[in-house]
Structure formats: C-alpha cells, structure tokens
Structure 1
Amino acid sequence: MPYARPTLTDLRQLVVQDIQNGGIPGVVTLMRFSVLWVIAMAQAGLAHLHYGYLDWISKQAVPWTATDEDLEAWGALKSIYRKEAARATGAIAFTISSDADIPVGTAIVAGGVDVVTTADSVISGTTATVSCAASEAGASGNVALGAVATLSSPIAGVQTTGTVAIAFTGGADDEEDDNLRDRIMAAYAKGGENGSSADYVSWAEAVSGVTRAWVNPLGAGAGTVVVYVMLDSARSADSGFPQGTDGAASAESRYQAATGDQLLVANAIYTKRPVTALVIVCSPVAQTVNFVVSDLGNDNTSDNQASITAALQDMFRRLSAPGGTIHPNYWNEAIAAIGLDQFNVTSPSVPVSASSTGSMPVLGTIEFAS
C-alpha cells in the first residue's frame, strides 16, 4: 500500500510527545511559547521539508510521475523530446503604387498578431506579397486566410492595410507535461522503432502542434503509408483540422508535395520512415453528426446544455478516427456521466460510420428538448 506521509500537524504532535515522554528528563509538559515549544515546532517543520523532498524525489525517479526537466531526461533515453513552441509563417498582400517595395524586417500586425517580413516583397502588377513569420512562437500566431493586416509604420507607395494571402500556419505552444508523458510512456511500452504503424503515429505526434494521428497502411496503393493528423490546440479555430493541402514531403519526388501543416508533418516523417515507403500526410475529412437530445425535463438548462455539448465533444475527440465508427453506447455513456436525472438521445439512434476511409465523424449541431 502507498506510504502515508505524515502531515505537519502529525509531526508537531510527535515531537511534542517525544519531549514530554522522556525525551528530556524532567520535562512533562510544554508551555505554548516556551523555548522548547519553539524548538519542537522548528524541528517538525524541518522534518516536514525533508519528507516533501523525499516525496518529490520518488516522483522524479520514474517516468510516469516525473515532471519538467526530469521528465525530459526520461524521454531523452528513448529519443522523445518536448515539442518546443514554433512560430507561425504565412504571407500578406498589399496594394502598391508605382514600384514601391516592402523590405525584409518590416513589422506588420496581422489579425492582431505581430509579424515580421522574412524576405523582400514579390511584386505582381499593383500587388506586393511578402512572406512573414510571427514575432513570437506559439499557437496564437496562427492567422486565418483573409485576415486584415496593417503596416506598423507607413511605407511610401504602399497601402497601409492589406490581407493575409497565405494563412499563417505552424504556430504551436510548448508541449505540456501530460502530453509529453503520454508519448514517453508509449515509447517505453512499444520498444524499438521498425516502421510499424505505432512508429508512424509517434513520428507524427512528435511534430509541434500535432495532438492526434492515425495510420492507413497501403492507403494510396502498394508501398504507400497514409498518415492522418489533427492539431486540436494549434488549430482550435478550425476544430483541430490541419490547414494546408495533402501530400508528401518536399524532398519526395514520387508524389506531389503537401503544403501548410501537412508539409511540416511530412517533412518530419521523411527522414525517419523506412527508405522505400511513400508517406502521404492528409487531413481527415469532417463528417458532422447532428444530435437531438430529448426528455431532459427540468434538466433542460443552459448549464446542462453546455455540459452535454462538452461531453460529446470530448467523446468525439477520444473515440473518433478516420474511417471509424461511433456507437450509441459511446454517446450515452458520455452524457450519463454528467449526472442528469433523465435524457434520451433521439437522433442518431444507430451507429455512425465514416462515409469513406478519410472521413471522420465530428460533432455537428445539438437540438435540446424537455
């Protein structure tokens, strides 16, 4: 059974009892503010700190409870490293007059995000397009296509406002301990790498921003491996779906190159895959599933509706997969866990299967009724 760590109160009582029960000859009681009482409290406090340090050591001694740099050290033994925050990149178009130019290093605000140009502008007619990168790393740097961009300082011949011509993608936050620990434990559980399906999932999820991945061996014919990915945090505004086009790595000559998020994953896998494998990285195709939840009675409140929505979203995130099937007991169990007095899922009433190999059931609309 687990070791029961004594509390500070327990330690104080133990030290006082030791003193009163013969620890110091002639002392049978302690005055609250006596010197011995103060020493007893100080000793108990020091012992409590020692117990705390030993408790921390025990957690760092194994990968399933280790944290921070100690967790990273356990991961390094399996070549699993924390995914660092990444800067988003994209392009912005401005209307210009004459032969005006936007030089490299120009500061711009795109969709509320500070970005900086990484190359001189490319001019076509009256439009100047500049490649840019977010000033700070993180998922907040991802900016949607068409967002308004503004020059931080005016440039002669260049209209002050422009639009995002290529969506900013690739921005991701530092990986949290829980996600890193899951990948580390999976690495210890499966052993070495040999190009198995689990290896492709691990290689994909090691890319900054990727939270889920699935593999379809021979998905595009003999010799191919199709990898589907989701970026639930970095692409939360897009329901977690990657932004870009499906394809292979930029160095792969046998297939068209991917773009955006898919290209980042494809390039990362390219150097690790078995040498003959043609890896194609794809975004799942959203297949919305609409729900009708009835017979809620007095539980048909806004708070309960929000809880039902959150439960179904969590269920789809945990159990849905490209080409997969969601069964009625999945959504019934998810809603029942909320603790409602009664409910009935009127629709759907049968298992929901993906319409194609790349389709993935996702939550659509929810209609509530008392």
Structure 2
Amino acid sequence: MPYATPTLSALRQQVAQDIAANLPGGDGMLRFSNLGVMAAAQAAMAYGHYDYISFVARQATPYTATGEFLQGWGALKGVFIKPATAASGSATFPGQIGQPLPAGTLVNRGDGQQYTVTGGGVVSLAGTVTVPITAIADPAGLVGAAGNSPAGTLLSLAQSVPGIQAAGSAATALTGGADLEGDEPYRARVLSAFQSTPQGGAQNDYITWATAVPGVSRAWCAPSGFGPGTVVVYVMLDGAESANGGFPVGSNGVSQFDLGPGGVPRGVVATGDQLIVANAIAPLQPVTALVYVVAPISNSVPFTIKGVPVASQAAVSLAIAGVFFQYGQPGGSIPLQLIWSAIATVSGVSDFIVVSPSGADITSPTGYLPVLGPITWQ
C-alpha cells in the first residue's frame, strides 16, 4: 500500500496541535502570533522534506526515474539516450552553365530553418545544379525533426552566389532528422534491457541493437528470413521519416563492414537508413550471422465503418492507427477485436459496425507491415 504523504494543511494543523498540547495556554492556531508563524514555518519545512523524499524514491528505480537519473540507470545496462540528428538530402538551384555552388553555402526554408551545402556542385548543361544539404544542428542538441521536409519544398540561398538563382527547391525529401529521445521511449528501452539479458545474438538482441540507432522507433527480427544463416531486421523510423510514412529511405542490404574472404561484403550493401542501422549492428552481431536490414512494405488496410458520428471520425481514425502502431508487425496479424475495442473507447461513439475488413484477424504477407488505409464512413 503506498504511503500517503500528508498535505501542507494537515502538517500545519498537526504542529499547532502539538504546540497546544505541550504549551498550556499557547494557541498555535492564532494567525499573527509568534507560535502560529513558527507552526506554519515548521509545517512548510516538513512538507519540503516529504517532497524531497518522494523525489528520491521516484529516482530509486528505472520504472519511475526521470532525466539524468533515468540515464544513469540506462548506463548501467549500456543503454544510452539517442541524440538529436540532422535532416539531410539534396537541393536544386537554377543557374548559368558552369557556375559553381560552393560547399558551406547557407540555404533557407520559408519558416527560417537553415541548411548548409555539404558538397559543392557546378551548374550542368540542363541549367541547374543539385547539391547535398544538411540541416544546421540545434545548438542545444534537442531538436532535429524540424529539418525534415518533403521533396519539392521551396528553398532559397541565404546569400547571393554569382551565377546561381536564389530560388530553388528540395530535389529529394530531406529526411533523417530526429529530436533528442524523450524519457518515455528511452525508459521503454531501459526497462527492456533490464528484463532481457543479452544472449549474444538472440532475437531480442537484434531489436535492442536496432532501436538504439537514432531515429529508429520500431524493429522486428526474423531469423533465417533469407535462408539459413541469415537474420532479417525490419526497422521503422516513425519520427525521422514521417514524410515517408515512417518507412526507411534507402535500399535493403547488409553492412559495408560485414566482410567475407578477400575483404568483399558478404551480401548486397544497404544504402540510406538501412545502411546506418546495418553498420550499427555489424560490430555487435555474431560473426556467423549474415544480417540484412530491411524496410517493411506497406500493407494499406482500408476500412468501411458504419454508425460513427462525424465529430468522432478523426478520433476513431487515430484510435485505429494506434492499434496498428502498437500491434502491427511485418508478416503478422492483428485481431479485429482490438480494432473494435479501440473504437468503442472513443468519446461520442455508442453504436457502430466495422463492415470491412471482416473475419477474425487482419493478416499481412511476409515482409508487409499493416498500416491504416482510407476509411469509408457510412
């Protein structure tokens, strides 16, 4: 049974009663008496002590610890908070043929977000130059997702460059930006590390290694996914790749450091997000395992729902999406009963029917991750 911390009012009353009991004729309840002031001050100090002890108790276990104390618990298991990462991609600017756009040039987005050109380029015969750009890091190291932008986003040069027009656009989606990991997702990884002892290559180990990569929010492991001796790790970057529905941007494959005889990679080398994850797993994986990092394929599941008021439809959509996020996995199934239960909890929904999909489960083929498709309201 939890300890009930006394309120400040209860402490004041207790001190006043103690004064009255031990000092005949002294009334500790009088507002402006010396005894009343002393009673209020002592009660406030005692309340502060209770509050501090409560704080210490919360930090005494990773289940309730916060901030640096939670990070201290994580460090005991080698689980560290994911830092913020900057978005990157490429931008295109028109200009005069042969004119250079040097590295280090600053690029602005309409809302003030700045990027820097990381590799110079020269205007081609097509009259444009395409250069790689990276979002300028937040000085405090807290924010990175703000730099993500879809392809086609309007950009402009922050300073004039001879022969280059100021107005340009994102040639590719600017992706990979992620904020500093919050306490709750970090706590989930810390608790998982305490609950799951590393086995040197068990399924949970691959999930732990993958989700430790900045930007990776979910991961699944499929033993022998591409045949004996292989391990397939599916990853999602729900925040860093929100412009792509959370699906990784890159190609599937193995780490560039997973080398076989002659120093040649043992499989097709991944690119983009998949390569970042594969390279992070490579020094941790068993030497005999051939690890492929793979992006799940979207399995859009449409719905037809009857009886939901218009005012509640947006909330119902979020509830269904939450079920897909929590229970969906590549090649897995989601009991339809979970969908019904989630809809039933939405305020304003009293009577409804999920017309389709029907049956017991929502199943996905191997490698396909179920996501919420369009909803037809009846």
Q: Which residue in 1 is equivalent to 2:129?
A: 128
What do residues 140-181 of structure 1 show as CA deviations (whole Å, max 9, x unaligned)? Answer: 112223333211112111122223234322211000001111
Determine if contact 2:27/2:36 at 8 Å carries over to the other structure: no
User: C-alpha distance in 1, partners of 2:197/2:233?
Assistant: 21
Deviation of 1:42 after TM superposition, in Å, equals 0.8
Equivalent of 1:231 in 233, 237, 241: 237
Deviation of 1:354 after TM superposition, in Å, equals 4.0
The more displaced of 47-56 and 335-344 is 335-344
Q: Which residue in 2 is equivalent to 1:82?
A: 81
The more displaced of 137-146 and 320-329 is 137-146
Instruction: Give the letter for the 2:2 counterpart.
Output: P
User: C-alpha distance in 2, partners of 1:21/1:234?
Assistant: 64
What do residues 99-120 of structure 1 show as CA deviations (whole Å, max 9, x unaligned)? Answer: 2111121100247531001232
Any stretches of 5+ residues in structure 1 without a counterpart? none
- Report the secondary structure of 2:298's partner residue: strand
Any stretches of 5+ residues in structure 2 without a counterpart? 139-143, 259-264
* 1:138-157 equivalent positions in 2, closer than 5 A: 138-157=144-163
The more displaced of 152-161 and 307-316 is 152-161
- Report the secondary structure of 2:171's partner residue: strand
What do residues 23-61 of structure 1 show as CA deviations (whole Å, max 9, x unaligned)? Answer: x24314532111111111111111111000000001111
Equivalent of 2:281 in 269, 273, 292: 269
The more displaced of 315-324 and 185-194 is 185-194
The more displaced of 196-205 and 281-290 is 281-290
What do residues 218-248 of structure 1 show as CA deviations (whole Å, max 9, x unaligned)? Answer: 1112221111111122222332222222222
| TM-aligned CA distance change 1:110 to 1:262, over 3 Å | farther
* 1:87-102 equivalent positions in 2, closer than 5 A: 87-102=86-101
| 2:326 is the counterpart of 1:306 | no
| TM-aligned CA distance change 1:154 to 1:119, over 3 Å | same
| TM-aligned CA distance change 1:205 to 1:89, over 3 Å | same
What do residues 243-282 of structure 1 show as CA deviations (whole Å, max 9, x unaligned)? Answer: 2222222334122222222222111111211122221111
Q: Which residue in 2 is equivalent to 1:7?
A: 7
- Report the secondary structure of 1:323's partner residue: coil
Q: Which residue in 2 is equivalent to 1:249?
A: 255
Instruction: Give the letter for the 1:135 counterpart.
Output: I
User: C-alpha distance in 2, partners of 1:30/1:132?
Assistant: 69
RMSD over aligned Cα, in angstroms?
1.8
Q: Which residue in 2 is equivalent to 1:199?
A: 205
Instruction: Give the letter for the 2:8 counterpart.
Output: L
TM-score (norm 1): 0.93
Deviation of 1:94 after TM superposition, in Å, equals 2.3
Determine if contact 2:330/2:364 at 8 Å carries over to the other structure: no
User: C-alpha distance in 2, partners of 1:220/1:131?
Assistant: 34
User: C-alpha distance in 1, partners of 2:174/2:55?
Assistant: 41
| TM-aligned CA distance change 1:123 to 1:251, over 3 Å | farther
Instruction: Give the letter for the 1:133 counterpart.
Output: T
Q: Which residue in 1 is equivalent to 2:164?
A: 158
Instruction: Give the letter for the 1:14 counterpart.
Output: Q
Q: Which residue in 1 is equivalent to 2:261?
A: none
Determine if contact 1:146/1:163 at 8 Å carries over to the other structure: yes
Deviation of 1:315 after TM superposition, in Å, equals 0.7
What do residues 55-96 of structure 1 show as CA deviations (whole Å, max 9, x unaligned)? Answer: 000111111111100100100010000001011222222233
Determine if contact 1:287/1:354 at 8 Å carries over to the other structure: no
Determine if contact 2:176/2:241 at 8 Å carries over to the other structure: no
Q: Which residue in 1 is equivalent to 2:339?
A: 331
| TM-aligned CA distance change 1:101 to 1:351, over 3 Å | farther
User: C-alpha distance in 1, partners of 2:107/2:172?
Assistant: 15
- Report the secondary structure of 1:254's partner residue: coil
- Report the secondary structure of 1:62's partner residue: coil
Instruction: Give the letter for the 2:295 counterpart.
Output: S
Q: Which residue in 2 is equivalent to 1:17?
A: 17
| TM-aligned CA distance change 1:203 to 1:122, over 3 Å | farther
Equivalent of 1:316 in 315, 324, 344: 324
Instruction: Give the letter for the 2:279 counterpart.
Output: N
User: C-alpha distance in 2, partners of 1:50/1:221?
Assistant: 61
Instruction: Give the letter for the 2:150 counterpart.
Output: A
Identity percentage of aligned residues: 43
Deviation of 1:311 after TM superposition, in Å, equals 0.8
Equivalent of 1:171 in 177, 196, 216: 177
Q: How many residues align?
A: 364
Determine if contact 1:109/1:115 at 8 Å carries over to the other structure: yes
TM-score (norm 2): 0.91
User: C-alpha distance in 1, partners of 2:236/2:153?
Assistant: 23
The more displaced of 25-34 and 112-121 is 25-34
The more displaced of 1-10 and 125-134 is 125-134
Instruction: Give the letter for the 2:155 counterpart.
Output: A
